[in-house]
Amino acid sequence: MRLANKTALITGAGSGMGRLAARMFAKEGAEVVAVDLAEGQLAETVESVKGEGGAIVGVTADVSQAEEVRRAVEEGAGAFGRLNVIYNNAGIFPGEDGSVVDLDEAVYQRVLDVNVKGTYLCCKYGIPELIKAGGGSIINVASFVALMGCTVPQDAYTASKGAVVSLTRSLAVQYGRHHIRANALCPGPIETPMLQELLRDPAERDKRLTRIPLGRFGRAKDVVYAAIYLASDESSWTTGTTFVVDGGISVNYF
Ligand code: NAD
């Protein structure tokens, strides 16, 4: 199994890619610390992983709140005696996001708080545990929108994911000598609950689909397979990358 003897903390594990990651990491032998704000959804993830014979604990926490993140790391590392992987997957993409001129300040702040501060806090409390374990892997979920401009503005989200990419590079450089790797995983448009509403509109769907060279939207597992690689020792010389899994959308000029 590719993740045997590893404990992985996965945020946003109550839905979409985070939920599937909890299941697929556990199947690869990882002990999973599943974190989410949504208690009921998190409980469903925990039950399904247990039902499949996996090792998992769930911790309800808001990644933008320092004390809650500190407790999640403490409970997670305590439950399994170590922490080897931090998978910062929790993120929000609110419908009220837009262009800077119209964007409400509170919406902007909340997006930055969850997507960037949440990543910062999980690293703040998680990295000392990785160091104790002799090293580890940090996977920070950014997005293809961090790498290219977009005429359909979602400026808070775009700014937040750009920050995640830069922060990840800095962590890779700072903590390499501690055998800690940090990579920014950049998905293209993936059919998860986050995009479901938007993609129900055929015009919105087609607008995006024509840009994807591989001719389909991504599936959660397309991204989780990449995360398994980044979490495992197979990627032991891979750090500081923007690891793009996007069906080719970010290299499409026309
Ligand atoms: P999703 O909406 O299905 O799941 C996100 C999960 O994060 C939910 O369970 C939610 O409760 C949780 N969450 C939200 N705020 C939280 C907080 N403050 N604290 C703890 N948990 C919180 O989303 P998804 O599509 O699976 O997205 C996962 C990640 O991938 C996000 O970071 C997202 O920005 C990124 N991403 C998604 C796409 C896409 O097309 N779906 C594309 C690029 C990047």
> Does the pLDDT at position 205 exceed 90?
yes
Of 3-7, 99-103, 135-139, 191-195, where does mean pLDDT reach its minimum? 191-195
Here the tokens at position 52 are: 């499949």
Rounded to two decimals, the pTM is: 0.98
Helix ranges (DSSP H) in the chain: 16-27, 39-51, 66-80, 105-112, 118-132, 155-175, 193-199, 202-209, 220-231
The token pair at 82 is 């170590």
Query: What is the SS3 assignment for 145?
Result: helix
Calculate mean pLDDT across residues 61-84.
Answer: 98
Q: Is 54 in the pocket of ligand 1 (CB under 6 A)?
A: no
Using CB atoms within 10 Å of the CB of residue 120, give its burial: 0 to 12 exposed, 13 to 18 middle, 19+ buried: buried
By the 8 A CB rule, do 166 and 120 touch? Answer: no
For residue 236, which phi and psi values (nearest 5 degrees)? Answer: -65, -10
Residue 175 is a catalytic residue? no
User: What pLDDT score was predicted for residue 196?
Assistant: 86
Residue 197 has pLDDT above 90, yes or no: no
- Report the pLDDT value the prediction gives residue 246, as an integer from 0 to 100: 98
Residues 83, 126: contact at Cβ < 8 Å? yes
Q: Which amino acid is at 22?
A: A
CA 183 to chain CA centroid, nearest Å: 11
- Model confidence at 198: pLDDT above 90: no
Closest CA to 15 of 194, 145, 187: 194
88 in contact with ligand 1, CB cutoff 6 A: no
Mean pLDDT (whole number) for 152-181:
97
Q: Which domains does the chain have, with CATH numbers?
A: 7-188+220-244 (3.40.50.720)
114 pocket-lining for ligand 1 (C-beta < 6 Å): yes
For residues 211 and 252, the answer to whether their CB atoms sit within 8 Å is yes
For residue 142, give the ligand 1 atom closest to its CA. 44
Residue 130 CA, ligand 1 centroid: distance in Å: 24
Instruction: Note the pLDDT of residue 150.
Output: 86
CA of 13 to the centre of ligand 1 (A): 9
Per-residue tokens: 65: 């709140």
Give the Cα separation of 64 and 54 in Å (integer).
Answer: 28
Asked if residue 186 has its Cβ within 6 Å of ligand 1, the reply is no
User: Which is the catalytic residue, given 87, 157, 225, 229?
Assistant: 157
Q: 89-118 pLDDT, tens per residue?
A: 999 999 999 999 999 999 999 999 999 999
Closest to 37 measured CA to CA, from 76, 73, 65: 65
Q: Considering the chain, what percentage of its residues have pLDDT values greater than 70?
A: 100
Residue to mutate (ligand 1; options 9, 11, 17, 113; most atoms within 8 A of CB): 17
249 in Cβ contact with 212 (< 8 Å): yes
Contact between residue 214 and residue 237 where contact means Cβ atoms under 8 Å apart: no
